[in-house]
Chains A and B, each alone.
Chain A
Amino acid sequence: MPKPRRSRRTLTLVVLVVISLSIISLDLTSRTHSITSGIKSVANGVYSPLRGGVVDLLSPIGSFFAGALHYGSVQTENEKLQAQLGALRQELSEKSYEDTQLRTLVALQHLPFLGSLPTVTAQTVEVSSSNFTLTVTIDKGRSDGVDVGMPVVGAGGLVGQVVSAYHHTSVVQLLTDGQFKVGVTFGDNVTGTVDGGGPGSDLTVDLVPPHTPMHDGEELFTSSLEGASFPPGIPVARIESFHTISGASQATVTADPIADLSQLAYLDVVQWEPAPSP
């Protein structure tokens, strides 16, 4: 092979690698992140309607095959859901009085109750576009009041947090993503940090003092520590297992998300931002 050709292709490789590294550097630097974020936002604005059209076109075909394959289980699940719906309707009518009392008490303690915070209801349009991240894309963006850092709830509890907000869509990092962290509280004012374990793994609860009294199934809520990234009181997870290794500086605790992350068709984005540090 002629030498000039080899050196030219090496030059091409070097140029492309340098451009890639420069783009990564721009994206990871907070001062210039807005440039790459803006490019992504414009691209998503152009591409989202097209994607929606393609999905609308293809979904009946996919649903046909999925329905044919899972007809029995779908029918059984439907019957179970009908029964649950009836029970929940009855429960709801009984709880309205208790809810009123709870809201009053919370207001007296000056705690922001999630019910009083404004929310934006969004529909999930895509689930995890990568094998390496646990995210969902929702059909609401900056033009609807959604912004980066806002908590997302649904399906019974905390679902995640907005990590990218474009004009008409946003990306929500699920609490099971390996990069997700949230401060929690449980029991007698015990605090800890829930870390997403990644696909197929349990959540882990870090920074819990050794031999802390707790029990299986105990619920963890977002903490009300100053500067927290989430409003307090959102149900996050239930303790699945716990123990303290002899001599360890913290308990080993695993937990399951309270929210049913397989049911994310509709979500609420809580329009809440952490109070600025004094």
Chain B
Amino acid sequence: MSWRSALRALLVIFVVFVVQDTLMVALRIDGAHPDLVWLLPVTAAIIGGPETGAIVGFVAGIAFDLVLPTPFGLSALVGTLVGYTIGVSTVAMDRRAVWLRPLAALIGSVGGDMLFAVLGAVLGQQQLVHVNVVAVFAVVAVSAVVLVLPVNRMMRWALSPSTGRLTLVPAHGPEGGLW
């Protein structure tokens, strides 16, 4: 793992976290606000593969768990699964396709929110499934499609060290390539 990439990825996670916690929570439509947390593992997975996606999802989830009243570790678990799943699903696709990032962002964000609510309910947080589902998913979906591009740009910068590899993990196969 490149320390430079790891530090840059941490910086990107922190910036996105602050933007989410200050700007995004204030942008409410019918009580729902955009959710940037899942865009971090989604973009990391598309750029660096399933393993990188899972690691970024875990770290980003832990960061968001620090300010959420939900069980500590729940966002980390969902972030890990979102990053890994998006990475595995897109590994055989043409990653330069213009539709890939918006589509992955939409599926990853809405899927992440659904998984978060369901796992939370399983852990005794019944309030997580008592939400205005239409408003939450609509706002999260639209904002994910729009905001994936700047987040992707930041994540690409974070994962592009001097070696030219876009990943947080050592490359022994095709995933280490520059997409």
Stretch of A5-13, A85-93, A114-122, A266-274 on the interface side:
A5-13
Which residue of chain B has its CB nearest to the CB of A27? B72
B interface residue count range (under 10 / 10 to 19 / 20 to 34 / 35 or more): 35 or more
Using a CB-CB cutoff of 8 Å, which residues 21-59 of chain B contact chain A?
21-23, 25-26, 30-33, 35, 49-51, 54-55, 58
Check if A173 is an interface residue, CB within 8 A of chain B.
yes
When C-beta atoms are compared, the residue in chain B nearest to A4 turns out to be B172
- Please measure, in the bound complex, the distance between the C-alpha atom of A23 and the C-alpha atom of B65, giving whole angstroms: 11
Q: How far is the CB of A35 from chain B (nearest CB, A)?
A: 9
Q: With an 8 A cutoff between CB atoms, is A132 at the interface?
A: yes
**From B31, B58, B70, contact of A20 by CB (8 A):** B58
B 138-162 binary contact with A (CB < 8 Å = 1; else 0): 0110000000000000000000000
One digit per residue, 1 when the CB lies within 8 angstroms of any chain B CB and 0 when it does not, for chain A 127-152 equals 11111111100000000000000000
- Given contacts A1-B173, A2-B172, A16-B58, A47 and B127 within 8 Å (CB-CB): no
- The reply to whether the CB of A278 lies closer than 8 angstroms to some CB of chain B is no
A19 and B69 CA atoms in complex are apart in Å by 19
Closest CB-CB distance, B166 to chain A, in whole Å?
16
B123 and A24 contacting across the interface, CB-CB below 8 Å: yes
Residue pair A163, B113 in contact (C-beta under 8 Å): no
With contacts A27-B73, A178-B126, A198-B131 taken as known, whether A131 is within 8 angstroms of B22 at the C-beta atoms is no
Query: CB-nearest residue of chain B relative to A43?
Result: B66
Q: Does B130 lie within 8 Å of A198, measured CB to CB?
A: yes
B164 on interface, CB distance cutoff 8 Å: no
Contact yes or no, B172 A9, CB < 8 A: no
Q: Is B71 touching A27 in the complex (CB atoms < 8 A)?
A: yes
Interface contact A130-B70, CB-CB below 8 Å: yes
Interface flag for A40 (CB, 8 Å): yes
B128 touches which one: A22, A58, A62, A133 (CB < 8 A)?
Answer: A133
A236 to chain B, nearest CB (A): 18
**Which one, B21, B117, B140, contacts A126 given CB within 8 A?**
B21
B145 to chain A, nearest CB (A): 17
Which residues of chain A are near B174, meaning CB under 8 Å? 1
Given contacts A8-B51, A129-B25, A131-B33, contact A36 B72 (CB under 8 A): yes
Residues of chain B within 8 A (CB-CB) of A21 are 73, 77
Asked if B116 contacts A132 (CB within 8 A), the reply is yes
* Residue B178 is within 8 A (CB to CB) of chain A in the complex: no
Question: Which B positions have Cβ atoms within 8 angstroms of A?
Answer: 18, 21-23, 25-26, 30-33, 35, 49-51, 54-55, 58, 61-62, 66-74, 76-77, 80-81, 84, 113, 116-117, 120, 123-132, 135-136, 139-140, 169, 172-175
Binding site for B on A (CB under 8 A): 1-2, 4-5, 8-9, 12-13, 16-17, 19-24, 26-28, 36, 39-40, 43-44, 47, 50-51, 54-55, 58, 62, 126-135, 163-164, 171, 173, 177-180, 196-201
Instruction: Knowing that A1-B174, A55-B22, A129-B67 touch, tell me 18 more A-B residue pairs with CB under 8 angstroms.
Output: A1-B175, A2-B173, A12-B51, A12-B55, A12-B169, A13-B84, A17-B81, A20-B73, A28-B71, A36-B72, A40-B66, A40-B72, A44-B66, A129-B25, A131-B32, A133-B128, A173-B69, A196-B127
15 sampled A-B residue pairs with Cβ under 8 A? A1-B175, A4-B172, A9-B51, A20-B73, A24-B77, A62-B23, A132-B127, A135-B69, A163-B69, A178-B128, A196-B127, A198-B127, A198-B130, A198-B131, A200-B31
6 closest Cβ pairs, A-B complex: A178-B127, A198-B130, A23-B73, A178-B130, A20-B77, A24-B73
